[in-house]
């Protein structure tokens, strides 16, 4: 996918954009490899509300028709969560509509959040990932954090220094 087909922009969602963001989230969650009942039960907790907009920052990926096809949200990481890696932004959510997955949109959104983190003096980007998303984040240069407190720590915490470039995709030709 060329950069001309997808644009990434930061925004503070209004009602219309929030509805479009939540549609992307819903389609992404419904595509997860989980029991239908589990998806139905967890979906409301992934949708963003006007209250979330007050506490999170957002970037969206839009197609050539200006339709939102991906979203990233972030906030400053709690010092306890980022103690091992320094000051960090927490990637709160990263969702790409299923029909647009596998085209580099998730990587464009991660790159945007890394730019924000670097531009604001953060050391790292932290994510508490779904088990099935670990491979994607590893392809973006994220590394696993050890679980220190099994009761408190999220099982799949990953981090990426903001100055480190992301890894080349497996099918990329470095000799072009």
Query: Could you give the CA distance from residue 108 to residue 104 in angstroms, rounded to a whole number?
Result: 6
Q: Kindly state the DSSP code that residue 100 receives in the 8-state scheme.
A: G
144 found inside a domain: yes
Predicted confidence band of residue 173 (pLDDT cuts 50, 70, 90): very low
How buried is residue 56: exposed, middle or buried, by Cβ count under 10 Å (0-12/13-18/19+)? middle
1 found inside a domain: no
170 found inside a domain: no
42 found inside a domain: yes
71 found inside a domain: yes
37 found inside a domain: yes
Bridge partner residues of 90 (DSSP) = 75, 126
Give the residue numbers spanning the domain of 65: 7-161
85 found inside a domain: yes
171 found inside a domain: no
Residue-wise pLDDT tens digits, 27-82 = 999 998 889 999 999 999 999 999 999 999 999 999 999 999 999 999 999 988 88
Predicted confidence band of residue 146 (pLDDT cuts 50, 70, 90): confident
Give the residue among 88, 99, 102, 23 at the shortest CA–CA distance from 60.
23
Q: Domain of 145: which CATH number?
A: 3.40.630.30
Residue-wise pLDDT tens digits, 71-114 = 999 999 998 888 888 999 999 999 999 999 999 999 999 999 99
Domain count, the chain: 1
């Amino acid at each position: 996918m060329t950069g001309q087909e997808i644009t990434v922009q930061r925004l503070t969602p209004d009602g219309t954009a929030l509805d479009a963001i939540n549609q992307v989230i819903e389609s992404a969650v419904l595509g997860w490899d989980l029991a239908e009942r589990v998806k139905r039960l967890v979906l409301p907790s992934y949708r963003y509300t006007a209250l979330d907009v007050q506490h999170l920052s957002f970037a969206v990926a839009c197609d050539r028709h200006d339709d939102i096809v991906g979203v990233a949200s972030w906030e400053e990481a709690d010092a306890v969560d980022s103690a091992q890696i320094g000051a960090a932004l927490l990637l709160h959510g990263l969702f790409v509509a299923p029909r647009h997955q596998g085209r580099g949109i998730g990587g464009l959104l991660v790159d945007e959040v890394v730019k924000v983190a670097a531009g604001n003096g953060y050391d790292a980007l932290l994510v508490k990932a779904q088990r099935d998303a670990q491979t994607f984040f590893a392809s973006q240069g994220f590394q696993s954090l050890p679980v220190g407190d099994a009761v408190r720590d999220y099982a799949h915490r990953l981090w990426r220094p903001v100055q480190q470039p992301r890894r080349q995709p497996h099918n990329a030709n470095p000799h072009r």
